[in-house]
């Protein structure tokens, strides 16, 4: 199993919206590195759901329900989407500022390349974020 982080502006599609929907297609990604990360996702992988722009915090955990398939919103190009389902809401959100204060998370893609919308997370980084969420 691998770990990932997806970013979404809560004003566009919040963790609460995701919980209500119970499943979503992660569409609209138009960055090659993020697309490659979507292609690498496997069913059952764990995904941190991060609120970007407003809040800047990890709000919940999702699972990959369907591996990559052609993005139905793409008019051209080799763009893909995956289906995600919510797994659990964190007891306490973990903010970007908090993440930046922990040495164990200093090399996290979220810290090094904060603009990437779909990014890998190491098992150690995932466990550290879970510890901070308690």
pLDDT in tens, 11-47: 999 999 999 999 999 999 999 999 999 999 999 999 9
Residue 94 tokens read as: 């973990």
Q: Which residue has the tokens 């959100």?
A: 93
Q: Indicate the pairing of strand 118-121 with strand 3-8.
A: antiparallel
pLDDT confidence bin for 61, thresholds 50/70/90: very high
Check whether 53 has a pLDDT greater than 90.
Answer: yes
Q: How far is it, in rounded angstroms, from Cα 132 to Cα 48? A: 13
Q: Which are the contacts of 130, defined by CB distance < 8 A and separation ≥ 6?
A: none
pLDDT confidence bin for 116, thresholds 50/70/90: very high
Residue 77 tokens read as: 């190009």
In three-state secondary structure terms, 124 is: helix
Residue 130 tokens read as: 């879970």
Greater confidence (115 vs 45) lies with 45
From residue 93, how far is each of 48, 49, 80 by CA, in Å?
Answer: 11, 10, 29
Predicted pLDDT at 69: 98
Query: What structural domains and CATH numbers belong to the chain?
Result: 3-132 (3.10.590.10)
Q: How far is it, in rounded angstroms, from Cα 53 to Cα 56? A: 6
Q: How far is it, in rounded angstroms, from Cα 44 to Cα 90? A: 18
Predicted pLDDT at 114: 83
Is this prediction's pTM over 0.85? yes
Predicted pLDDT at 37: 98
Contact 34, 119 (CB under 8 A): yes
Check whether 109 has a pLDDT greater than 90.
Answer: yes
pLDDT in tens, 71-102: 999 999 999 999 999 999 999 999 999 999 99
- β-partners of residue 121 are 3
């Amino acid at each position: 199993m691998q770990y990932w982080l997806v970013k979404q502006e809560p004003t566009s599609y919040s963790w609460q919206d995701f919980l209500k929907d119970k499943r979503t297609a992660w569409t609209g990604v138009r960055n090659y590195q993020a697309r490659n990360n979507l292609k690498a996702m496997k069913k059952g992988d764990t995904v941190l759901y991060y609120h970007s722009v407003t809040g800047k915090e990890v709000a919940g955990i999702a699972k990959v329900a369907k591996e990559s398939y052609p993005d139905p919103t793409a008019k051209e190009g080799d763009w893909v989407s995956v289906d995600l389902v919510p797994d659990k809401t964190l007891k306490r959100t973990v903010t970007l500022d908090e993440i930046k204060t922990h040495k164990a998370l200093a090399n996290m893609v979220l810290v090094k390349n904060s603009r990437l919308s779909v990014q890998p997370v190491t098992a150690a980084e995932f466990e550290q974020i879970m510890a901070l969420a308690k």
